[in-house]
């Protein structure tokens, strides 16, 4: 994201509802970098409700898609706006019909950020593929397979870029003596433990451990008084 000025600048640009020309100019640093590093990039553009309007391959060749009033692909065009394909539809829902077109259903999967430093843990991030992002003339399974492939290809990287790293507390324990027995009766000792990973912090290990210690201080003696025993001193 640094090539584009950081997350804040990207969000500000997206909120402007930019034109396709403005988008291409904004992405130029990424495209230049990818060319210098021999990285292949496919670019896609979508309508707000999920229909793909263009697909640009790594060679810079763009294919455009137009839709009918039922949000079905009507024409497929070259970057020179020459028609590659006209599509028509019938009421036939047979998957073997050449007139059928199938869009993927909504798909999602959660991934744990896994590029945190040693001793830190990653949050869970959900990667989503909206409905109608992919289509197929073959079958519903084929369209959904493309959506699943999208998840498998980009889900983990998305989590690594958008998730957060955090600290879990270490286990802490302390032994307390029951102190609410009758006069002349001794209370037994009992250990109160706060297990590891009960508390977390995005700030530091000390902050996570402080939360665990606070529970120890607040509840430890009460736990001993409720669960310890009272025993008279033997004479």
pLDDT of amino acid 191: 96
Same domain, yes or no: 153 and 191: no
Q: Which of 122, 124, 114, 119 is nearest to 196 (CA)?
A: 119
Q: Could you list the residue range(s) of the whole structural domain that residue 188 is in?
A: 166-232
Instruction: Please report the pLDDT score of residue 90 as a whole number.
Output: 53
Q: How many other C-beta atoms lie within 10 A of the C-beta of residue 170?
A: 14
pLDDT digits (tens, 9 = 90+) for 129-141: 999 889 888 888 8
- Listed residue (117, 162, 188, 196) closest to 1, CA to CA: 162
For residue 123, what is the DSSP state? P
Single out the residue in 128, 163, 198 at which a domain terminates: 163
Q: What is the pLDDT of residue 187?
A: 93
Say yes or no: 112 and 156 in one domain: yes
Residue 138 lies in a domain: yes
Stated pTM of the model: 0.54
Domain closes at, from 163, 184, 216: 163
User: Domain check: are 97 and 140 in the same one?
Assistant: yes
Structural domain includes residue 105? yes
Distances (CA, A) of 97 to 33, 67, 69, 81: 44, 20, 21, 28
pLDDT at 92: 44
Which of 145, 163, 181 is where one domain is finished? 163
Count how many domains the chain has: 2
Same domain (yes/no): 218, 205: yes
In a domain, residue 184? The reply is yes
Asked whether residue 156 falls in the same domain as residue 215, the answer is no
Bridge partners (DSSP) of residue 43 are 56
For residues 143 and 192, state if they share a domain: no
184 and 149 belong to one structural domain: no
Q: What is the pLDDT of residues 173-223, one digit of tens each?
A: 999 999 999 988 999 999 999 999 999 999 999 999 999 999 999 999 999
pLDDT of residue 14 exceeding 60, the answer is: yes
Distance (Å, whole) CA 162 – CA 149: 20
């Amino acid at each position: 994201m640094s090539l584009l000025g950081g997350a804040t600048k990207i969000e500000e640009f997206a909120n402007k509802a930019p034109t396709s020309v403005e988008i291409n100019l904004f992405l130029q640093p990424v495209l230049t970098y990818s060319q210098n590093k021999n990285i292949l990039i496919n670019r896609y553009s979508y309508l707000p409700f999920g229909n793909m309007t263009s697909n640009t391959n790594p060679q810079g060749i763009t294919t455009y898609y137009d839709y009918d009033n039922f949000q079905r692909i009507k024409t497929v065009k070259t970057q020179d706006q020459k028609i590659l394909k006209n599509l028509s539809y019938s009421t036939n829902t047979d998957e073997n019909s050449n007139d059928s077109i199938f869009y993927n259903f909504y798909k999602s999967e959660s991934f744990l950020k896994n590029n945190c430093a040693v001793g830190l843990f990653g949050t869970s991030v959900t990667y989503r593929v909206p409905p109608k992002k992919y289509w197929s003339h073959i079958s519903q399974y084929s369209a959904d397979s493309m959506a699943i492939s999208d998840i498998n290809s980009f889900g983990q990287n998305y989590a690594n870029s958008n998730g957060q790293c955090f600290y879990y507390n270490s286990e802490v324990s302390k032994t307390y003596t029951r102190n609410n027995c009758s006069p002349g009766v001794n209370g037994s000792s009992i250990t109160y433990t706060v297990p590891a990973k009960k508390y977390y912090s995005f700030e530091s290990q000390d902050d996570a451990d402080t939360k665990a210690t606070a529970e120890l201080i607040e509840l430890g003696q009460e736990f001993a008084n409720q669960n310890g025993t009272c025993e008279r001193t033997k004479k």
